[in-house]
Structure 1
Amino acid sequence: MAAIDVAPYSHSPVHEAVLTKNYAALTKIIAGLPRLIDPSKIRTESASIAEEAKADAISNVIDRRDVPNRDTPLHLAVKLGDTAATETLMLAGADWSLQNEHGWSALQEAICNNEQHIAKIIIKHYQPTAWAKWCRRLPRLLQTMRRMRDFYMEITFQFESSVVPFISRIAPSDTYKIWKRGANLRADMTLAGFDGFKIQRADQTVLFLGDGSEKVPPGSLCMISHKDKDVMNALDGAGAAASDEEVQQEIQAMSQANMFRPGIDVTQAVLLPQMTWRRQEKTEFVGIWRAKVYDMQNVVVSIKSRRVPGAKSENELFGDEKETNGEEFNDILTDEEHKQLESALNNGISNSKHRDIPIEDGFGYGNEDNKNDKSKSKSSQRKDIGKDGSRESEYKKGLRPILWLSPDFPLHTDEFLPLLDILANKVKAIRRLRELLTTKLPTGTFPVKVAIPVIPTIRVLVTFTKFEELQPLDEFSTPPTCHDLPTTTSSSSWFQWIKTPYQNASSSTSGSTPRIEHVQDPFVIPADYTWITAEEKKKKMQEKRKSKK
């Protein structure tokens, strides 16, 4: 690698120390930073806030990006192949996931530059660092949740298309059912995510037990599979450093395919109200909530790809995909419907593949309104980067979601985002919704409905169809008799019973209802479900993939 001029980095002592390989200065700078306490000892909200402030002060020094290319000191250590500086920065808590100006993290730079010894150091240390960050934040998150009202909510995901009339058969809708009580959160779903137009189904429950249970400590995130009848604590062992075998497996997995970085840029987003033919702002009812309809403009989705030495090319990867294209719908569609679907997908997807860009998880990046925009259609570009001559491709596309904003929804966006943060850890569809909602919305409004293009001819509607406050538990101290209980299924061993104003999903979803029903306690782990470890779950998934092949 060519020598880097130190002058543009001299205002950042850590960058300068890394570039000049002055390890004594680097160690001295880190030694002078605030000292964080053991994260497992942070119990109160005030302690959490104080430790997060210290962590921010540390990050302001060791994660600075006000330099050329917005490289952190860790990025520079990776580019220089400096194992000593990488180890020192990771032990100090450097954030390996921060992206530079080109959108790549330090770990991705290491993989793309074939610096496997550097990648091993980052992977070995990033789990304890991430776990410490979670533990520092957890007490504040729990207290924030406890201060919020308790509620039951339904969010519907529905696909629609103007050219594919049978869309509901191959992409059936799903309703996420979400309970929040105290510091506990539960979400039931069958739609785990969608990679472009590849629907990922899983009959599962995400259960965040902020108050803990007999089986797990407070702040545990449990993944429940109803098909396999198993429960896994997704955070079990999260603070342990990866073993040498796990490190090697992760490097091997990352090195098999080229690197891709999707992202939604909403920093320049602008909301423009839709107008009626009378030139008045358009309003509609979403359930019981009156909402104004807005177009969100200047939203850009970018997909970057970068060559990994020794990995398969995009053409090789997509060649395998083309061979199986449409096979998953063989038992659903007629021959004529197959042709219609093929035509719709070709119009919306094939151009992206020719640009060496895959269909990514989440909400995709096509937009019917922008398909004739020549300036955007030519935005794909290639350039040489990296000391090994690796190549990078970038595809940008304008996205124009539609938002229905209501001032009457009981929650505020800033209240809802922390809950989405919990679910987004394990649910891709929620992750994309969360990214979109980081836009600064008008004060006092909530997006009760969002329409987002998946490909130019298909979009997904995300609608908040129900919100009901849950009554305090002490109001229901007397257990109901057996005559009070509704007819249950074989999964009735799941729950204890309480009264809540939750109406059956088969009934009207247009907002609140005064009718009180008996409902299962959503936060009790079923007695007939088996607890398994993350390693056991991984082996089960591998066995399933082998049996399918």
Structure 2
Amino acid sequence: MPRNTPLHLAVMLGHKECAHLLLAHNAPVKVKNAQGWSPLAEAISYGDRQMISALLRKLKQQSRESVEEKRPRLLKALKELGDFYLELHWDFQSWVPLLSRILPSDACKIHKQGINIRLDTTLIDFTDMKCQRGDLSFIFNGDAAPSESFVVLDNEQKVYQRIHHEESEMETEEEVDILMSSDIYSATLSTKSITFTRAQTGWLFREDKTERVGNFLADFYLVNGLVLESRKRREHLSEEDILRNKAIMESLSKGGNLMEQNFEPVRRQSLTPPSPNTISWEEYISAESGKAPHLGRELVCKESKKTFKATIAMSQEFPLGIESLLNVLEVIAPFKHFNKLREFVQMKLPPGFPVKLDIPVFPTITATVTFQEFRYDEFDDSIFTIPDDYKEDPSRFPDL
């Protein structure tokens, strides 16, 4: 990771014209510095509303462009893959007693035919603040124009919404309000020192553990050295913000939901800029690697490291390869929990396909993902189309 990109520096020092010039020339917004913070995180800390808004818009634009760039490669990979039905289960657990009571589980059913994918799920979204339930189907139609290719069906309400990645001015401004009133959070799964050892079974005579997972015989491994490093920053928050956020979290852990909180983000004003930095350019560039002096508002940061004990079951019998799975996951990546699965299976795993694995999703929450069933199959084209009796509701899922 670079120490700081020019965009990081412009934002931290409050050089707005310079930051806007860099954005106009498409400076990357997603890139992190050596401490794991993006320019957007630094803009939230600095507290200039206009700057946060400009970075957020550019980040979304760059994400859309990145998706469009990958699209031809993904469609080619999908076309080459046989048509199949895949069922996987998610079970979320936590060592926090109250939290474990409200955590969801979910069965996902995936149909893939040609360059079309349908995903049926009961879990809409899962973050550390909330989980949303429903009976939903996501349909990806690879032949359609990019703006028309992704549709979500609400099978209970019989409505559908096309997922356009363009957001309205109001949605972006509301997101800025939420960013300005919440902790800045960064979590990285460190896999540098990860190792796999065969799991053992038996009391007296120990032997390698091999069991069936769904229809597949699998070898079980222990995952060692998996560390989730998380950091929270709140130098931009007032005492009132901190108390309100704490009250929301406590209510959620007791089974409340965000709607009951009157969680209406208040329109936030820019903060008073931090005191000007007295660090000279010479001091900055001569600092040791990883120890660059901090620029911008004085940090209020809490760090935690948690080592996870995880198990993974690898099957040589599973008909799909990891690369193929990654291609499918990339198409259905609007889900945060699917992104975590994709990150995890990109590691160098033992031989075979991961039919069962534990993934740290948040510092207090782990998901066990099990691939229950897989078969090559053909389907009726109608399952990849919107039913005639469903009505369009463009605002059914404001978060998507």
Normalising by structure 2, what TM-score?
0.79
Which residue does the alignment assign to 2:391? Answer: 530
Alignment of 1:400-419 (within 5 A): 400-419=309-328
Q: Contact 2:220/2:314 (CA < 8 Å) preserved in 1?
A: yes
The one-letter code of the counterpart of 1:123 is L
Asked if the contact 1:120–1:247 (Cα under 8 Å) also holds between the matched residues in 2, the reply is: yes
Q: 2:34 aligned to 92, 101, 107, which one?
A: 101
Q: Is the 8 A contact 1:78 1:86 kept in 2?
A: yes
Residue identity matched to 1:133: S
Indicate yes or no: 2:116 matched with 1:187. no
- The CA RMSD over aligned residues, in Å, is 3.2
Q: 1:99 to 1:458 in 2, by over 3 A?
A: closer
In structure 2, list runs of 5 or more residues that go unmatched. Answer: 258-292
2:157 alignment counterpart: 228
- Residue 114 (structure 1) shift: 1.6
| CA distance in 2 between partners of 1:257 and 1:197 (Å) | 11
SS at match of 2:332: helix
- The range that moved more, 263-272 or 392-401, is 263-272
Hey, what does 1:263 align to over in structure 2?
188
- Among candidates 353, 368, 377, match of residue 470 of structure 1: 377
Matched, 1:451 2:358: yes
The structure-2 alpha-carbon separation of the partners of 1:268 and 1:222, relative to structure 1 and needing over 3 Å to count, comes to farther
1:259-291 deviation digits (Å, cap 9, x = unpaired)? 122332223321111123434322111122111
Q: Which residue of the other structure, out of 64, 70, 73, is the alignment partner of 1:131?
A: 64
CA deviation vs aligned residue, 1:15-55 (integer Å, no higher than 9, x gap): xxxxxxxxxxxxxxxxxxxxxxxxxxxxxxxxxxxxxxxxx
Check whether the contact 1:184–1:208 (CA below 8 A) recurs between aligned residues.
yes
Q: In 1, distance between residues paired with 2:171 and 2:255? A: 34
Offset of 1:88 from its aligned partner? 2.8
Structure 1 contact 259–308 (Cα < 8 Å) conserved: no
Q: Is the 8 Å Cα contact of residues 44 and 179 (structure 2) preserved in structure 1?
A: yes
Q: 1:162: how far off?
A: 10
Distance 2:362 2:340 in 1: 15
The one-letter code sitting in structure 1 at the alignment partner of 2:176 is I
Distance change in 2, residues 1:81/1:453 (3 Å): closer
What residue identity is the alignment partner of 1:462? Answer: V
Residues 123 and 156 of structure 1, relative CA distance in 2, 3 Å threshold:
closer
Matches within 5 A, 1:9-20: none
Query: Measured at CA, do residues 280 and 99 of structure 1 come closer, stay the same or move farther in structure 2, by a change above 3 Å?
Result: same
User: How has the CA–CA distance of structure 1 residues 528 and 299 changed in structure 2, closer, same or farther, with 3 Å as cutoff?
Assistant: same
- Describe the shift of the 1:197–1:454 C-alpha distance in structure 2 as closer, same or farther (beyond 3 A): farther
Q: Is the partner of 1:527 in helix, strand or coil?
A: coil
Task: Give 1:149's match in structure 2, choosing from 78, 82, 90.
Answer: 82
Deviation at 1:196, TM superposition (A): 5.4
Contact 1:152–1:469 (CA under 8 A) maintained in structure 2 = yes
Deviation, structure 1 residue 72 = 2.0
Larger relative helix fraction: 1
Structure 1 residues 401 and 315: CA distance shift in structure 2, 3 A:
farther
* Cα offsets for 1:403-457 (capped at 9, x unmatched): 00011111111111122123231x23222222221211134x1100113467999
Q: Provide, for residues 101-148 of structure 1, a one-character-per-residue CA deviation record: whole Å limited to 9, x for no partner.
A: 222111111111123332233234333333222222211111111011
**What percentage of residue pairs aligned between the two structures are identical?**
29
| TM-score, reference length from structure 1 | 0.59
Is the alpha carbon distance of 1:79 and 1:172 closer, same or farther for their aligned partners in structure 2, counting shifts above 3 Å? closer
Q: How does 1:29-428 map to 2 (within 5 A)?
A: 65-66=1-2, 69=3, 71-158=4-91, 171=103, 173-195=105-127, 199-212=131-144, 220-235=149-164, 237=166, 243=169, 245-277=170-202, 278-311=205-238, 312-323=240-251, 325-328=253-256, 386-425=295-334, 427-428=335-336
SS of 2:196 mapped into structure 1: strand
Kept in 2, the 8 Å contact 1:294–1:403? The answer is yes
3-state SS of 1:96 partner? coil
Q: Deviations over 1:212-247 (max 9, x none)?
A: 2xxx65872222222332222212536xxx64x555
Matched position secondary structure for 2:375:
strand
Partner of 1:438: 346
Deviation (angstroms), 1:248: 3.5
* Aligned-partner Cα distance in 1 for 2:172–2:366: 39
Residues 1:75 and 1:236: Cα distance change in structure 2 (over 3 Å): closer
Residues 266 and 235 of structure 1: is their aligned pair in 2 closer, same or farther, counting only changes over 3 Å?
A: farther
Structure whose CA Rg is larger = 1
Return the alpha-carbon distance in structure 2 between the equivalents of residues 404 and 139 of structure 1: 32
Relative contact order: is structure 1 or structure 2 higher (C-alpha 8 Å, sep ≥ 6)?
2
Contact 1:177–1:187 (CA<8 Å) still a contact in 2?
A: yes
Q: Deviations over 1:344-396 (max 9, x none)?
A: xxxxxxxxxxxxxxxxxxxxxxxxxxxxxxxxxxxxxxxx9553223111111
- Secondary structure at the aligned position of 2:346 is classed as coil
The alpha-carbon distance between structure 1 residues 252 and 460, as it changes in their structure 2 partners (threshold 3 A), is closer
